[in-house]
């Protein structure tokens, strides 16, 4: 046997040192023996000397171009992760043996590892053309196809690998990844579970399953899978990131923060880890820490659009709109086609109360992604803020075409069509909206439900879901111990805080200013917390002068605002905005005061466990209805609504001609907002006008389209369009003065006149109302009772129409009503603000006494011994509905 043969035998037997010696013996006598050089190179490779092996392979190939040498040489390069060199060697092998499957496979792997999947693909396919039974090659081809974004083809490749070897967990796992990418969630889940049945300790597969379940909206299951992935491989940052995503979706915000923190510790130079950590901090309300982490991510990767958009959102949340706009404009300068950046820019502008600019920007976002419902929804909201109801309604319809069950868009569409008096398909839309509310749909603004034919149960249901959404992420704003001690040792006054966006020229501002000024400062320390615009109006200045402390919180985050209120030691925080424009309900969710109250701004329950009381009266919330209110009901003896005794009425009265009214004829009027008008109500008004020849109906129309639509509706009911007259906006004192030209105010239902009814009565104009079945539909009845005109309250539509016609035909009776109203005005409870404020203060004292005694909030009835006597508070058990 020759030395070479003995070397081969030793090599095959694993006696590598002996094989080396034998091959060296051959090379001493035959230094250019290519076979001996080749085999010695293989031995050196097996002995862990790849560099020596490479030299030997090169020498062998210099003598003879042999395929086997090329293949072993390529494997050596691959073993050293020298993928470029490996590719060169395998390419040379193919020049020697173009049909070599091994060379094609080696070249495919080397190219793939260099990030060249498009070049690797044809070589994988060459191998499979000759050896289609190789599952590993199908899998590698599938990975290359995934890298190329060709997920359907990738799924086919992995499926074939799994067919060839159904016991290969890797094939099933890779198939699951590809199926997930093409949206076949159920099939992907089945593939992952097959893989885990074969390899239950595969952390990567648990990671992939967690991501799939998270994407499918199954956060609890995603969380469980993510926890298993982390337990199996706690050193993997990607596993912690998956757990963080799942925990965030499951609203396990602390766990999400801990998981993303772990990922960032494991990979501190990972921009994705820092971005996800920032998002977790943001969800916890730790906005400034979130901003720092977003900036850290961007330092690691300056061109990181997701982090830039997130940073802008965080800055906007911190009320730093200028900083957010700077970030987004810089991103859009680089990526002018980034629709999400345009969308976020529009949102920031809207949040900064620049709706016109927001609409222009959001139109660009929609143009870039017309099939994106969120951009359309944002455009709808911005257009509504700008007062462009037609554009808002159009955008809502586009959202609903894209997502037919989009509850928020449906609610907004109903409201915008009401604002336009566009009733052509309104009944069907309202019925659809109420079905969604009753089915538990998320995202329906409770305010949009008030003006529908909704029940108290509907309103409570919508409010509860809205309030819960506002509470997400809110952190309790605990009163500092020093503040509590200072309050206990203070002046003995009860500290009342009023939270509102309407300390300005606004209907609510006109109602509440006198009551807030009239508080007994010897017993109550009053602070106004303003979250709205400073419009520079005389009314704004009056609030600032007339209230003991006026604190502007507009540029505070909700969390900072809550901390400010808590630090001030407020005992009772009263929300005057509710679910109306510019509300900041999340401040209440942080519980900055031990007692929290819903009053005046929103005629219904807030549905929130963090609001203790609602201020009402026996008319707006009747006995037996307490169960439909999440708050405990506080009933004042006269009316829940205050009024301003200093409300100015212009001395000069315009002429009827000035206002477009006929010189003669009865003038019915309704200055309510257009959204309170309904087709059924208008039917009744048409019948009233038909029964009173020469009469006209004077309506408020701040939007030109309202007049167009109502004239069309009038013609459809046989009305001469000239019998509808439209009033334009005027300064408040002048608006009150023009009430003198009308004869009777006709109220609306299901949403009554509120401030507009008070305005009419203050100006001396009788109001005819129909009592409704909800708080919003009973306010005018409450006002008329407190104003001494209860006979103008009716219960049915027929009675409403009959009474309107009877009054129009009875000038003497109408004159008597006006005279009574004029005589009542100085003395009636409706306009007796000091009396009202004493009743309100009695309610506050009762609330505080219950709290101080350690009791749970319970219903309160405030009574007065006589019309002007001192108020007392009586506690009682609430009645369930």
Q: Is the pLDDT of residue 769 over 60?
A: yes
Looking at the structure, do residues 307 and 418 belong to the same domain, yes or no? Answer: yes
- Condensed to tens digits (0 to 9), the pLDDT of residues 237-262 reads 999 999 999 999 998 999 999 999 99
Taking the C-alpha atoms of residue 820 and residue 640, their distance in angstroms, rounded to an integer, is 22
Strand order in the sheet with 613-616: 549-552, 524-530, 494-500, 572-575, 595-598, 613-616, 632-635, 860-864, 871-875
What does the pLDDT average to over 501-507? 95
Let me know whether 234 and 299 are in one domain.
Answer: no
**Is 145 a member of any domain?**
no
CATH code, domain carrying 827: 3.40.50.2000
Do 676 and 598 lie in one domain? The reply is: no
CATH code where residue 227 lies: 1.25.40.10
Claim to verify: residue 244 and residue 345 sit in the same structural domain: no
Tell me which residue has tokens 């319809």. 397
Work out the pLDDT band at 491, boundaries 50, 70, 90. Answer: confident
Does residue 576 lie within any of the structural domains? yes
pTM of the model: 0.84
- Over residues 124-134, the mean pLDDT reads 93
Question: For position 472, what pLDDT does the model report?
Answer: 82
Phi, psi of 803 (to 5 degrees): -65, -40
Cα 638 to its chain centre, rounded Å, is 39
Alpha-carbon gap, residue 861 to 155, rounded angstroms:
69
Average model confidence (pLDDT) for the chain?
Answer: 94
Q: How confident is the model at residue 487 (pLDDT cuts 50, 70, 90)?
A: low
Q: Give residue 476's pLDDT band: very low, low, confident or very high (50, 70, 90).
A: confident
Report pLDDT for 484.
58
Question: What confidence score (pLDDT) does residue 482 get?
Answer: 57
Half-sphere exposure for 536 (CA within 13 Å, toward CB): 0
In angstroms, the Cα distances linking 233 to 205, 239, 242, 794 are: 11, 7, 12, 72
The pLDDT, as a whole number, for residue 478 is 78
Residue 399 forms part of a structural domain? yes
In-domain check, residue 45: yes
402 plus 540 within the same structural domain = no
Please tell me the distance from the alpha carbon of residue 837 to that of residue 814, in angstroms, as a whole number: 32
- Write the pLDDT tens digit of every residue in 424-446: 999 999 999 999 999 999 999 99
**Is the Cβ–Cβ distance between 709 and 420 less than 8 Å?**
yes
**Among candidate residues 454, 473, 502, the one where a domain is terminated:** 454
562 and 521 belong to one structural domain: yes
DSSP H helices in 616-743? 679-691, 704-716, 732-738
Question: Is residue 634 over pLDDT 60?
Answer: yes
Hey, how many other C-beta atoms are within 10 angstroms of the C-beta on 234?
Answer: 12
State the CB neighbour count (10 A cutoff) for residue 99: 9
Beta-carbon contacts of 488 under 8 Å, excluding residues fewer than 6 positions away, are none
Whether 346 and 365 have beta carbons less than 8 Å apart is answered as yes
Q: Crossing angle for the helix pair 339-351 and 355-368, nearest 10 degrees?
A: 160
For residue 871, the model assigns a pLDDT of 47
Residue given tokens 């337990």 in the structure block = 231
Distance CA 465, CA 487 (A): 35
- Report residue 867's pLDDT band, with 50, 70 and 90 as the boundaries: very low
Tally of domains in the chain: 5
Instruction: Say yes or no: 320 and 244 in one domain.
Output: no
Q: Higher model confidence: residue 247 or residue 878?
A: 247
Domain containing residue 774: 667-831
The model's confidence at residue 3, banded by pLDDT at 50, 70 and 90, is confident
pLDDT at 406 over 80: yes
Please calculate the CA angle 293-296-300 and round it to the nearest 5 degrees. Answer: 140
User: Does residue 84 contact residue 74 with C-beta atoms inside 8 Å?
Assistant: no
**Among 786, 806, 831, residue at a domain's last position:** 831
- 626 plus 712 within the same structural domain: no
Q: What is the mean pLDDT of residues 194-214?
A: 96
| Averaged pLDDT for residues 847-875 | 78
List the structure tokens of 579: 């679910």
Alpha-carbon dihedral angle through residues 651, 657, 659, 663, given to the nearest 10 degrees: 90
Query: Is 739's pLDDT higher than 70?
Result: yes
Q: Are residue 260 and residue 326 in the same domain, yes or no?
A: no
State residue 628's pLDDT score: 98
Question: What does the pLDDT read at residue 307?
Answer: 98
Q: What mean pLDDT do residues 275-288 have? A: 93
Please give the Cα distance from 588 to 531 (Å, whole number): 13
Pair 679, 824 in one domain: yes
Rounded Cα gap, residues 614 and 621, in angstroms? 10
Co-location of 338 and 372 in the same domain: yes
Residue 142 lies in a domain: no
- Mean pLDDT score, 325-350: 97
Task: Give the DSSP letter string of 815-856.
Answer: HHHHHHHHHHTTTSGGG-HHHHHHHHHHHHHHHHHHHHTTPP
Q: Confirm whether 605 is domain-assigned.
A: yes
Residues 506, 820: Cα–Cα separation, whole Å = 29
Q: What pLDDT is attached to residue 285?
A: 84
Tell me if 708 is assigned to some domain: yes
CATH code for the domain in which residue 490 is found: 3.40.50.11380
What is the per-residue pLDDT for 479? Answer: 72
Spatial CB neighbours of 344, under 8 Å, sequence gap ≥ 6:
309, 312, 313, 328
If we measure between CA atoms, which residue out of 271, 321, 315, 320 comes closest to residue 297?
271
Quick check: is 382 in a domain?
Answer: yes
Same structural domain, 575 and 683: no
The pLDDT of residue 412 is above 90: yes
Question: Residue 447 carries which DSSP code?
Answer: H
Q: Which of 232, 264, 296 is the last residue of a domain?
A: 264
């Amino acid at each position: 046997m020759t030395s070479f043969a003995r070397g081969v035998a030793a090599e095959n037997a694993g006696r590598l040192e002996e094989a080396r010696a034998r091959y060296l013996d051959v090379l001493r006598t035959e230094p250019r023996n290519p076979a001996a050089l080749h085999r010695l190179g293989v031995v050196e490779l097996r002995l862990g000397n790849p560099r020596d092996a490479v030299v030997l392979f090169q020498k062998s190939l210099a003598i003879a171009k042999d395929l086997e040498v090329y293949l072993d040489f390529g494997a050596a390069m691959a073993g050293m992760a020298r993928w470029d060199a490996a590719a060169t060697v395998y390419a040379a092998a193919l020049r020697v043996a173009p049909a070599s499957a091994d060379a094609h496979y080696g070249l495919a792997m080397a190219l793939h590892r260099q990030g060249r999947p498009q070049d690797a693909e044809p070589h994988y396919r060459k191998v499979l053309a000759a050896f289609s039974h190789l599952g590993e090659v199908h899998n590698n081809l599938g990975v290359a196809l995934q890298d190329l974004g060709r997920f359907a083809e990738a799924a086919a490749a992995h499926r074939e690998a799994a067919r060839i070897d159904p016991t290969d967990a890797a094939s099933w796992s890779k198939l699951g990844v590809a199926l997930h990418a093409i949206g076949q969630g159920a099939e992907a889940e089945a593939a992952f579970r097959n893989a885990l049945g074969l390899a239950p300790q595969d952390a990567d597969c648990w990671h992939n399953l967690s991501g799939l379940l998270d994407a499918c909206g199954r956060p609890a299951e995603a969380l469980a899978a993510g926890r298993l992935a982390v337990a199996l491989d706690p050193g993997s940052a990607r596993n912690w990131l998956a757990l963080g995503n799942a925990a965030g979706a499951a609203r396990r915000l602390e766990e999400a923060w801990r998981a993303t923190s772990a990922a960032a510790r494991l990979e501190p130079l990972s921009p994705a880890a820092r971005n996800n950590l920032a998002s977790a901090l943001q969800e916890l309300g730790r906005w400034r820490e979130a901003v720092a982490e977003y900036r850290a991510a961007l330092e690691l990767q300056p061109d990181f659009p997701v982090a830039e958009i997130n940073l802008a959102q965080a800055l906007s949340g911190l009320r730093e709109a200028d900083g957010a706009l700077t970030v987004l404009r810089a991103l859009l300068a680089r990526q002018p086609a980034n629709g999400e950046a345009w969308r976020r820019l529009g949102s920031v502008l809207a949040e900064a109360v620049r709706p016109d600019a927001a609409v222009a920007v959001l139109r660009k976002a929609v143009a870039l992604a017309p099939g994106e419902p969120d951009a359309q929804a944002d455009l709808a909201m911005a257009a509504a803020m700008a007062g462009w109801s037609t554009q808002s309604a159009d955008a809502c319809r586009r959202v609903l075409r894209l997502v037919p069950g989009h509850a928020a868009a449906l609610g907004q569409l109903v409201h915008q069509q009401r604002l336009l008096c566009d009733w052509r398909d309104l009944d069907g839309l309202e019925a659809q909206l109420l079905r969604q509310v009753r089915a538990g749909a998320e995202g329906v603004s409770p305010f949009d439900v008030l003006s529908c034919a909704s029940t108290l149960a509907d309103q409570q249901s919508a409010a509860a879901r809205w309030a819960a959404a506002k509470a997400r992420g809110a952190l309790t704003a605990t009163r500092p111990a020093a503040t509590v001690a200072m309050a206990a040792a203070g002046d003995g006054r009860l500290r009342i805080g009023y939270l509102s966006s309407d300390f300005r020229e606004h209907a609510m501002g006109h109602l509440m200013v006198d009551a807030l000024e009239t508080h007994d400062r010897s017993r109550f320390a009053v602070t106004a917390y303003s979250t709205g615009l400073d419009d520079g109006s005389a009314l704004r200045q009056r609030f600032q002068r007339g209230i003991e402390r006026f604190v502007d919180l507009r540029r505070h985050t909700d969390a900072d605002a809550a901390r400010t209120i808590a630090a001030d030691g407020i005992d009772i925080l009263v929300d005057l905005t509710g679910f109306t424009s510019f509300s900041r309900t999340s401040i209440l969710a942080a519980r900055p005061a031990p007692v929290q109250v819903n009053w005046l701004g929103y005629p219904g329950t807030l549905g929130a466990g963090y609001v203790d009381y609602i201020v009402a009266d026996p008319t707006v919330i009747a006995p037996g209805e307490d169960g439909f209110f999440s708050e405990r009901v506080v009933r004042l003896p006269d009316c829940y609504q205050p009024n301003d005794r200093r409300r100015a009425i212009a001395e000069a009265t315009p002429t009827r001609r000035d206002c477009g009214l006929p010189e003669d004829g009865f003038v019915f009027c309704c200055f309510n907002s257009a959204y309170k008008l309904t087709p059924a109500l208008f039917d009744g008004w048409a019948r009233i006008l038909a029964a009173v020849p020469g009469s006209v109906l004077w309506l408020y129309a701040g939007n030109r389209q309202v007049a167009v639509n109502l004239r069309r509706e009038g013609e459809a009911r046989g009305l001469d369009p000239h019998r509808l007259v439209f009033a334009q906006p005027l300064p408040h004192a002048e608006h009150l003065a023009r009430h003198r030209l009308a004869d009777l105010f006709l109220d609306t239902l299901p949403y009554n006149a509120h401030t507009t009814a008070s305005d009419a009565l203050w100006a001396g104009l009788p109001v005819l109302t129909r009592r409704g079945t909800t708080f919003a539909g009973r306010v005018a009845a409450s006002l008329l009772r407190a104003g001494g005109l209860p006979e103008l309250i009716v219960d049915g539509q027929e009675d409403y129409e009959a009474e309107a016609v009877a009054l129009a035909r009875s000038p003497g009776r109408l004159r008597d009503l006006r005279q009574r109203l004029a005589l009542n005005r100085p003395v009636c409870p409706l306009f007796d603000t000091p009396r009202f404020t004493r009743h309100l203060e009695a309610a506050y004292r009762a609330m505080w006494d219950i709290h101080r005694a350690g009791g749970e909030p319970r219903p309160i009835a405030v009574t007065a011994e006589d019309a002007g006597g001192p108020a007392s508070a009586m506690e009682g058990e609430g009645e369930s509905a």
